[in-house]
Structure 1
Amino acid sequence: MKKLIAGFVFGVGLTAMAHGAGDPEAGKQSAAACQACHGQGGAKPIMGVYPKISGLGERYLYDQLVAIQENSRAIPEMTGQLDGKSEQDLRDLAAYFAQQAMPVSQADPDLVEKGAAVYRGGNMASGVPACAACHSPQGKGNEPAGYPHLGGQNAEYLVKQLKAYRDGSRANNASAAIMVDVSSKLTDAEIEAVASYISGLN
């Protein structure tokens, strides 16, 4: 598993320089529709099950927008939202939202200890690697590798995504394949705890 992660990080690192940059000012002009569900700057979604898209990282956001547009990542609520948008439009949106701050949520105090243990140390007995290995100890992610900033994300959304990885319904690229493997070893209790912990991480 460690070799898989290391190899993938190396590979995306080599291609990161070829990844074109978007124009955040241009993205801001077309972000109004996104903010109807994700809130001002993508930081305050109208429902906990919707993600904060602020500060996730430009590469990650762009990759997800492309996957949603191509329907390789099916999200019913996003149906039609990206129709007609060019590659540059998606890059611009990604650049705009990547520059916005990710506000921190409140972790459940009863779940902090268990969540921290999984996030920082994984679970050696079941083969779960530490989340911090890819997403950083502070949850700030790894922009060149396309790993998202997680700290502050809505716990309800994180639970939904971890379970989607676990059941294979979100498995559209190499990064997702890593998460499918990791999540397959997580229990419901671990998912709830680590999602809560991440929501309060900064």
Structure 2
Amino acid sequence: MKKLIAGVVLGVSLSATAYGAGDPQAGEANAAVCAGCHGQGGAQPVVAEYPKLSGLGETYLHRQLQLIKPQDRPIPSMMGLLDNMSDQDLQDLAAYFDSQDMIIGKANPELVDLGEKIYRGGNLASSVPSCAACHSPDGKGNEPAGYPRLSGQSADYVVKQLKAYRSGERDSGPFASVMMDVASGLTDEEIEAVASYVSGLH
């Protein structure tokens, strides 16, 4: 929990220096290579475990692209795709995807109650904080701090990432330790429920 609090404080102090620095029109020119997996505008991935990129937040997207390019966050299917892009290209790409509309899904009605409980109130018994504290009550994230939008994100992708944080597989980036702490207290059932809940949150 101490790591979590420290991470949240760090997130606030690391307000995006590059917030709004990208050019969406310039980013669109490089986005065609992304459409094969993430769909047009990053809104409809061809595989449920791939993330929706639309509207996630420019700061968050830029940071992830900065990690993916040198394979600090290894994603085999993206190896080499960003090699010829400058940091400004990455910023523009992030701005383009952030400017696109997120398509909201529909949560599984059987999981809504537990998902909402975890998202809004966490689980005191396992020291899991509410997701809403960082990602906002409506799931639209916190752009200045670089916390991504969760509203509308693919449930399968959220499940995969929470399990990757929990196992320590995903450990790169300034807030990875925060998410690893959060995920360490979540059961499989809670992960499935909160992932479903955010997919339909709006």
The residue number in structure 1 matching 2:146 is: 146
Q: 2:11–2:175: 8 Å Cα contact kept in structure 1?
A: no
- Separation in 1, partners of 2:46, 2:77: 13
TM-score by length of 1: 0.96
Q: Which AA in structure 1 matches 2:166? A: R
Spell out, residue by residue over 1:19-56, the C-alpha distance to the aligned partner (whole angstroms, 9 max, x if none).
57011000011111101110111000001000000000
Q: 149-158 or 1-10, which moves further after superposition?
A: 1-10
SS of equivalent to 1:116: helix
Q: Which AA in structure 2 matches 1:58? A: E
Spell out, residue by residue over 1:58-84, the C-alpha distance to the aligned partner (whole angstroms, 9 max, x if none).
000000001000111011111111111
What are the equivalent positions in structure 2 for 1:160-171 lying under 5 Å apart? 160-171=160-171
Q: 2:139–2:149: 8 Å Cα contact kept in structure 1?
A: yes
The residue number in structure 1 matching 2:79 is: 79
- Separation in 2, partners of 1:18, 1:93: 13
Q: Displacement of 1:9 after TM fit?
A: 2.6
1:7 and 2:28 matched: no
- Separation in 2, partners of 1:66, 1:58: 12
Q: Displacement of 1:174 after TM fit?
A: 2.4
What are the equivalent positions in structure 2 for 1:58-77 lying under 5 Å apart? 58-77=58-77
Gaps of 5+ in 2: none
The residue number in structure 1 matching 2:53 is: 53
Q: Displacement of 1:99 after TM fit?
A: 0.5
- Separation in 2, partners of 1:104, 1:167: 28
Q: Displacement of 1:5 after TM fit?
A: 3.8
Spell out, residue by residue over 1:121-161, the C-alpha distance to the aligned partner (whole angstroms, 9 max, x if none).
00001100000000001000000000000100000000000
Aligned-residue Cα RMSD (Å) equals 1.2
The residue number in structure 2 matching 1:17 is: 17
- Separation in 2, partners of 1:3, 1:89: 33
Q: Displacement of 1:173 after TM fit?
A: 2.0
User: Percent identity between the aligned chains?
Assistant: 59
How many equivalent pairs are there?
200
- Separation in 1, partners of 2:20, 2:29: 19
1:117 and 2:114 matched: no
